[in-house]
Amino acid sequence: MASEFIARTYKTDHSSPLRFIWSHIIRHPLFGFLMLSGAFSNAALASAVPYFIGRAFNAVIDQQDAFETVVAMSLAIIAAQLIRAGLQVIRNFSAEIFAQRIERDVRDELYASLLGKSMTFHASQPVGEIMARVTNDVREMNLMMNPGMNLVIGSGFFLLLPLLASPLIHPWLALVPALFLVIYFWLQYRFIRSLNPIAQEVRASFGQMNARLAETIEGVQVVKGAAREASEIKVFDALADKVKGYFVRQGYIEARYLPFLLLAIINVVAFVHALILHRLGLITSGDIVAFMGMIFLFQFPTFSSMRSLSQIALGYAGAGRILSIINMQTDLDQNQSGYDKPLEGAIAFENVSFGYGEAESVVRDISFTIKPGQTVAIVGQTGVGKTTLTRLINRTWDVGSGRVRVDGVDVRDWSLASLRSQISIIEQDIFLFSRSIADNIRFGRQDATQAEVEEAARRAQAHEFIVDMPEGYDTVVGQRGVTLSGGQRQRIAIARAFLTDPPVLILDDSTSAIDSATEDRIQKAIWAASRGRTTIIITHRLSQIRWADHIIVLRQGQVVAQGSHDDLLRDSMDYRRIFARYEHPESGRLLATGD
């Protein structure tokens, strides 16, 4: 399976949800064995109780050593139940560890798989839906194991023991337990078949609701700005009602759980059958007591199975949803054995075309060359594909046709980790993590010292505002850096790039949110940092365009001109038109980012 990045490899089977679950179960054989043996001992020692009671009952009726027998049987019951209690502690402890480890492993595997997916995958998947799978669906797999599987296994032995123990009293007594098991399993089969589709709908509808919630919370500023709170609440209420509806349908199926009726009937049938055998002189009164005590053991699996089977159905549905994400092919691969050398910075586009998904190509037949250490500006109207071109260099996306070469090697032949670690991109829409400012700056270089972090911040003109914050470099910023201004976020991102010291630096309108005075200082820092490295600039600032060694002009997804500033002013009508609009702000700013 193709993957951009592989963090860890579990030897798990991805061919079906059942095999996926089983492959995780067999990774923890010790705890599985303890849970299984504990369930068997629980049923065996529980079935010993009616046997001892039956013997005591016979002794009282026959008046033969009644006191001694009753005392002996009482002590036997106490001993059996003490042992049973001890084994149950081990069983439940093992079952919980078993379930928690499976949840941890599945979540780790899914998280690593998500990090390995390409941007094509992430661009098409709602974040809330993914979060529902990483959190709730994985949690359902935990509950599927405990109490789900734990109860099912325990119930299985409680169903089996009466069938095995009854013939020890009299062979004919096995008839009723056998009849119960046949009907019971048929009813359970029908129950599971009717419950499983509803469980699938429950998980799917929950994912849809969670996706809407995450999207609305992420865009809460837009919602409030447009005064759309009421309409969003209405939409969310409809999704919540949909989830509720499926849960109600699940409850309706559970309310018609026929094994409850079967249990009541089988108790009557068993008692009548035992009385007939007693009238025939085949069993004693104590045998009737012992036999009915064993039939009473069917109560536990009957009452617990509805809950446990529902939990297993939800867990199985969750496993299917998780597996669908893991199995989803990505269009990029890590290529660990690919080209892996220090990057010099030569970049060449050769007849490159690219479009997002099935959409029309954003860029078409693009060709140009960037020499090592050269500073290149890419200019053009909004939507012509400036940002797209830079994303093809580090393989955020792969070309549709043609090829992009770095140091003469097709980017698809590079080791993806090596290629991306040597290219730093600073965007207008800066993403910062909910961590300290220092951790955000050293994100690309975890081994950087505090002194190196501060030096990078000084070069990015960020040190002064950082030290003025409550905890300085240890100040934790909000999610996406919402507690900082746009200019502060961009300066932190620039400091992050300076710290990694990449051979290729891409600036995607990275100074758009910075005032002119600060920009002048950062401009000098970037100018100094660009020496000896390849720098690609997407900007609407004339000062930065003039600064470039080479300028590429795009129109309608194609290169229409390229050269130096002076050459383009002389020879390119498209560039002169763009430049004229820059010189007259009242005409509107033509160039923008995010295209």
Has residue 345 been placed in a domain? no
Residue 555 three-state SS: strand
User: Whole-angstrom Cα distance, residue 80 to residue 280?
Assistant: 33
Distance from the Cα of residue 226 to its chain's centroid: 32
Residues constituting the chain:
595
User: Which pLDDT value is given to residue 356?
Assistant: 79
Report CA Rg, the chain: 35
Has residue 241 been placed in a domain? yes
Cβ atoms of 480 and 431 within 8 Å: the answer is yes
User: Whole-angstrom Cα distance, residue 249 to residue 510?
Assistant: 53
User: Which structure tokens are listed for 11?
Assistant: 């030897």
User: Which structure tokens are listed for 413?
Assistant: 């032949």
User: Which structure tokens are listed for 340?
Assistant: 């892996």
CATH number for position 131: 1.20.1560.10
Which single residue is written with the structure tokens 């000084």?
A: 458
Q: Where are the alpha helices (DSSP H) in 327-460?
A: 386-393, 416-421, 437-441, 450-459
Cβ atoms of 494 and 462 within 8 Å: the answer is yes
Beta bridge partners of 559: 554
The b-or-e profile of 11-36 (16+ CB within 10 A means b, else e) is ebbeeebeebbebbeeebeebbebbb
Beta bridge partners of 562: 552
Considering Cα of 50, then 52, then 54, then 56, what sign does the dihedral take? Answer: negative
- The per-residue pLDDT string of the chain (595 residues; one tens digit each, 9 = 90 and over) reads 455 555 455 678 888 999 999 999 988 889 888 888 988 888 888 888 888 888 888 888 877 777 888 899 899 999 999 999 999 899 999 999 999 999 999 998 888 888 877 766 776 777 777 887 888 889 989 999 988 889 889 888 989 888 888 898 899 999 999 999 999 999 988 888 888 888 888 878 888 888 888 778 777 777 877 778 888 889 889 999 999 999 899 888 888 888 989 999 999 999 999 999 999 989 998 899 889 998 998 998 888 888 888 888 888 888 988 888 888 876 667 777 888 899 999 999 999 999 877 667 889 999 999 999 899 999 888 778 888 899 899 888 888 899 999 999 999 999 888 898 888 888 777 778 888 999 999 987 888 899 999 998 988 888 988 999 888 999 988 766 667 877 788 788 888 888 888 899 888 876 665 666 666 666 766 676 667 789 998 877 777 787 788 999 998 889 999 998 888 888 888 888 876 665 544 443 433 333 3
Has residue 100 been placed in a domain? yes
User: Whole-angstrom Cα distance, residue 87 to residue 81?
Assistant: 10
Written as one letter, the residue type at 248 is V
Q: Into how many domains does the chain fold?
A: 1
> Is residue 486 exposed (0-12), middle (13-18) or buried (19+ Cβ within 10 Å)?
middle
By DSSP bridging, strand 363-370 and strand 347-354 are: antiparallel
User: Which pLDDT value is given to residue 590?
Assistant: 38
User: Whole-angstrom Cα distance, residue 168 to residue 44?
Assistant: 14
User: Whole-angstrom Cα distance, residue 117 to residue 500?
Assistant: 24
**What Å distances lie between residue 358 and 120, 354, 362, CA to CA?**
11, 10, 11
Residue 506 three-state SS: strand
User: Which pLDDT value is given to residue 32?
Assistant: 86
Has residue 343 been placed in a domain? no
Beta bridge partners of 558: 555
Has residue 541 been placed in a domain? no
Report DSSP letters for 440-452, one per residue.
HHGGG-TT--HHH
User: Whole-angstrom Cα distance, residue 76 to residue 80?
Assistant: 6
User: Which structure tokens are listed for 416?
Assistant: 């993806």
User: Whole-angstrom Cα distance, residue 499 to residue 480?
Assistant: 20
The whole-model pTM stands at: 0.69
Written as one letter, the residue type at 20 is F
**What Å distances lie between residue 252 and 144, 243, 255, 256, 273, CA to CA?**
21, 14, 5, 7, 34
User: Whole-angstrom Cα distance, residue 261 to residue 302?
Assistant: 10
Has residue 96 been placed in a domain? yes
Has residue 118 been placed in a domain? yes
Identify the domain containing residue 218 by its residue range.
17-326
> Is residue 308 exposed (0-12), middle (13-18) or buried (19+ Cβ within 10 Å)?
buried
Written as one letter, the residue type at 589 is R
The crossing angle, in degrees rounded to 10, of helices 29-62 and 285-296 is 150
User: Whole-angstrom Cα distance, residue 103 to residue 578?
Assistant: 56
Has residue 46 been placed in a domain? yes
- Which residues, including other chains, have CB under 8 Å from residue 323's CB and lie 6 or more apart? 14, 16, 17, 20
The b-or-e profile of 404-443 (16+ CB within 10 A means b, else e) is bbbbebebbebbbebbbbbbbbbbbebebeeebbbbbbbb
